[in-house]
Structure 1
Amino acid sequence: MTDAPGPEPGSRRRWPLWLALGSVAVVLSCAVPLVVIVTLRDHGPGASASASPIAIHSPEPGDPEQMTQLWLRERIADVLTEQAGALLRGDERGFLAVAEPKSAAVGALRRQFRSLRALKVTAWQVRITDIPDRAGSRWRVAVTYEHCFVDPGCLTGPVSIETTWVDRGGVPRMVALAPSPSAQDGPRPWEASDLVVALGKRAVVATTAAQKGHLAEVLREAERAAEVADRYAVGGLPPRHYQVFYAGEKEWRRWYGGDRPEWTAGYAVPVGGGHFDVVLNAKGLHSSVLDDLLRHEMTHAASLPGGGYRTGENWWLVEGLADLAAAGGRPVSRYESLGDVRRLVSGGWRGPLSAAEPGERATDWQVSAAYGVGYLAVRHLVDRYGEEAMLAFFKAVVHERKSPEAASTKVFGEPWQALQDDCVSYVRSAAS
């Protein structure tokens, strides 16, 4: 997609999956087991907000500080209720009213509002499970936002944001906000950047103004890739829409914590509610490989469990399926990483498949060859048993957490060791 020249042969498959465990941190009050939950969904005109009523009186002289904390949490929930309603009805002024004038929160919230609206936010549910901590004259508390986009009835996913407040005569005003320190939680693109968005029938593509010129092409290719990725949906229906973020160099280093291996060109990260965000690295991404990369990453979004999956010994299977989709039906002889697999085999590689995953310090050709091993092994299973059986094996191993031995016997009717040896032999033969 950039003006950089296309990659050298054998370097196109630098697309490792990066997946954090899809866990949601449970924030507990260490003193009082009390939860304030505010739930808002966009049900169209006339949508109403409701908050759990909590009988807490205003702090009085002599009250313990805990009473002030509980009372302040209730007041924060009140203003966040109003803010959530403003977001869903498109009222930017109402959304910003929660912020202390001229504070750092104003600019951050304005960016957040505009990006969330551009992404077609349809649910915004606020949960406060902690009591505010005093920090001088300010108060800090984490707020969890359960949210989703585009589809009004979609399952929500959480994101945790650290907020800082001041008390203005009994009315809390936000003065700062910061993303959760965890890589999975943030910063999300809509927290960190002003986004421009293109909405298609099956895909939503977002980027920054600097990359806006690529938006139409990325959306066009994402719509095509969705048709392929849908075929590999495992354990249910394919995603109702695919969320794709196209990252410039600055955004790539920041979104979702950055810090990917140098050879990463894209990743799919679970964001809760069974949803994945696909993030592409615009740097060096030539348009000739955009379609393959999108098919690869969007197939992860379609095929993996909603909470994500740590690959480990089954890396070859997860990446092999995604690369099967990326290949777009091309014959094995036209697979771009075949030369790197040949180099690996000529160096004496004889398996096992469970050791295929490249390390962070792997060279480009080693990464390319590792993906090639996964692709060829999965391709062989499809050629021998059919796509339906291969997906059943994938489901048993990746979704149901069965061992390859148990899954192979159940799905293919063959012991895994013999079948793995056959796959390794095929990889060596195909690369010769």
Structure 2
Amino acid sequence: MWLSLGLVAALVLCAAPVGVGVVVFRGLDSPAWPATPAPKAQPARSPVAGDAERVTATWLRDQIGAALTAQGTALLAGDQAGFLATADPASPAAATLRAQFASLRAMKVTKWAPSADSLPSSVGSRKWRTLIEVRHCFVEPDCQPMTITYGTVWTDTPAGLTLVGIEPSMSTYDGPRPWEVSTLVVATGKRVLVATTPALRAQLPTVLAEAEKAAVVADRYAVGGPPPAHYEVFYAGTAEWKRWFGGNRPAWTAGYALPVGGKQVDVVVNAAAPQRNKLDDLLRHEMTHASTMPSDGFPTSAWWLVEGIAELAASGGAAPQSYEGIEEVRKVVKERGWNGPLDDLKIADGAADWEVAGAYGIGYLAVRQLAERFGEPDVLAFMKAVTHDRMPIDDASREVFGEPWSVLNDQCVAAVRAAAG
């Protein structure tokens, strides 16, 4: 019996950075004018005794910004000494940077643009804390960057400014990222990057091989645009599963996918899960989430549709009686008396394994019913309308299928109940 085959990335809402453009209009009869470059910001003056704290903080912000720029340049050049140059060698910050350098280089970092725009705040004698924002890319030379924000602590010494502390990002859904807190070993293929810890290095070839095959399937289900330029899969050991991307997943979860900024959706697989699940099915399921997910995550109301399509990819469209979760579907239908509607299909965090499998199976059978009647392209168009365009489900149904959703919902529920016998 498979278990869960993926935490609802659908429940994850992660805002992506939005670029704002400004358009200047002028009348057709107005004379052209030469472009005027924006004035360069004047560097902050060095503080002197008696200056207000803000003067010192403004100067420190400039110094930190220069140090970060040099650090980013060193990382992209493969210069570990330059990447570590700003850190106190005896501080935890140096150890953190050393591990991050190895992980980021292994992940084929292609962009690393850190900045510190806010004023540092004093946190003790000659110690200052400030937030760092890093726009970054992996693998792709010119991706739409992801962004993270984390805290740093600096010491202002007579010898210069020194980094002494780095805090992992702790946003609700996607912090810390694996490369922030773990030394990673990485394998890359044609379509997939797989990262794990040194303790699980021996499993990398198997995971990569299965992920490459899963990418071929997930690509076919891409919604809202072309397939991802590359997939990122993080294979988590027990400790990492509890920490990466915030941890705190329901006990039944075997894997999940979540948007991490730009157009990237990361996949995380619990290394313990393949003991109870087939790794190939699990990867097809989660990587299909990555190829179908909008940048701001799935709406929770479409849970059955999101998981049903991922199961369609994972199972290869298996006939109802051949589907691995059919017994659990029967249990949900017969013992719980499930009779729809699909929009109300949910899984509690403390749900039993059979309840999880049964709910996923119901989503699968409903999507399969739609695919048999209308074809997979129309089902994917329906998913785009519901999850990317955020259309009300009845509007999407009428536009894509030409029928009201109430009718199709009843047909899908009837198909599920018929399959359950």
Q: TM-score scaled by structure 2?
A: 0.91
**Aligned residue identity for 1:251:** E
Gap change, CA 1:288 and 1:55, over 3 Å in 2 = closer
Whole-Å separation in 1 of the counterparts to 2:369 and 2:13: 29
1:21 aligns with 13
The Cα of 1:171 is off from its aligned counterpart by: 2.7
1:90 and 2:78 aligned: yes
Q: Deviations over 1:392-429 (max 9, x none)?
A: 11000000000111000111110110110010001101
In structure 2, stretches of 5+ residues that fail to align are 19-39
SS of aligned partner of 1:144: strand
2:328 aligns with 340
Gap change, CA 1:261 and 1:167, over 3 Å in 2 = same
The Cα of 1:128 is off from its aligned counterpart by: 1.9
1:100 aligns with 88
1:67 and 2:67 aligned: no
Match of 2:43 among 39, 42, 55: 55
Gap change, CA 1:408 and 1:67, over 3 Å in 2 = same
Whole-Å separation in 2 of the counterparts to 1:388 and 1:221: 25
Matched residues, number: 397
Match of 1:179 among 160, 168, 180: 168
1:275 aligns with 264
Match of 1:207 among 187, 196, 202: 196
* Aligned 8 A contact 1:14 1:263 in 2: no
* Aligned 8 A contact 2:308 2:366 in 1: yes
2:308 aligns with 320
Whole-Å separation in 1 of the counterparts to 2:162 and 2:174: 24
Matches within 5 A, 1:128-277: 128-137=116-125, 138-169=127-158, 171-277=160-266
Match of 2:65 among 40, 63, 77: 77
Whole-Å separation in 2 of the counterparts to 1:310 and 1:97: 45
SS of aligned partner of 2:260: strand
1:285 and 2:277 aligned: no
2:411 aligns with 422
The Cα of 1:319 is off from its aligned counterpart by: 0.7
SS of aligned partner of 2:76: helix
* Aligned 8 A contact 1:274 1:307 in 2: no
The Cα of 1:170 is off from its aligned counterpart by: 7.0
Percent identical among aligned pairs is 52
1:118 and 2:109 aligned: no
Q: Deviations over 1:194-234 (max 9, x none)?
A: 11000100000000111111100000000000000001111
Whole-Å separation in 1 of the counterparts to 2:42 and 2:233: 40
Whole-Å separation in 2 of the counterparts to 1:376 and 1:428: 10
* Aligned 8 A contact 2:265 2:293 in 1: no
1:42 aligns with none
Runs of at least 4 residues off by over 6 Å: none
2:23 aligns with none
**Aligned residue identity for 1:81:** T
Q: TM-score scaled by structure 1?
A: 0.89
1:40 aligns with none
CA RMSD of aligned residues (A): 1.6
Q: Deviations over 1:145-170 (max 9, x none)?
A: 11110010111101111101001237
Whole-Å separation in 2 of the counterparts to 1:271 and 1:362: 27
**Aligned residue identity for 2:184:** L
SS of aligned partner of 1:251: helix
The Cα of 1:101 is off from its aligned counterpart by: 2.0
Q: Deviations over 1:218-255 (max 9, x none)?
A: 00000000000001111111001100000000100111
Which stretch shifts more, 65-74 or 110-119?
65-74
Whole-Å separation in 2 of the counterparts to 1:126 and 1:391: 38
1:407 aligns with 396
The Cα of 1:54 is off from its aligned counterpart by: 4.1
